């Protein structure tokens, strides 16, 4: 297994775990309470989508490391889901004028795109 594939898998697993940790922090600090009370259906839809994304990232990364035939395909799909999630998050935080978090998600977008392209064009 090449180094790029291992990095791809590790990035997926770490990203999936980080999503869960981030949502845990948002819940514990009450940051998400406003969204929950104003738009509960949309909020829980977002939580469901992010949970599916995090699960797909972790499972895909593990699948790659265990050389499962579905690992790479699942991870590519999950990375696409992650790209969508970070674009959405960046826009949401930019609208709230939270430039720090918005920039953080732009950085994650760039890192994810680089990792995807490295794996896509590996030799």
Convert the pLDDT of each residue in 46-67 to its tens digit: 899 999 999 999 999 999 999 9
Residues 1-13: what's their mean pLDDT?
A: 93
> Above pLDDT 70, what percent of the chain?
97
pLDDT at res. 42:
83
Which CA distances in Å does 31 have to 23, 34, 98, 111? 10, 7, 13, 26
- More confident: 108 or 46: 108
Q: Whole-prediction pTM value?
A: 0.90
């Amino acid at each position: 297994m090449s180094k790029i594939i291992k990095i791809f898998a590790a990035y997926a697993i770490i990203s999936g775990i980080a999503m869960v940790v981030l949502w845990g922090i948002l819940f514990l600090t009450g940051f998400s309470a406003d969204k929950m009370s104003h738009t509960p259906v949309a909020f829980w839809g977002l939580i469901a989508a992010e949970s599916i994304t995090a699960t797909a990232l972790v499972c895909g990364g593990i699948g790659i490391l265990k050389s499962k035939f579905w690992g790479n395909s699942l991870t590519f799909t999950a990375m696409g889901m992650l790209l969508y999630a970070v674009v959405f998050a960046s826009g949401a935080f930019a609208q709230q004028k939270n430039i720090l978090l918005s920039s953080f998600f732009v950085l994650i977008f760039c890192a994810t795109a680089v990792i995807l392209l490295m794996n896509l064009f590996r030799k």
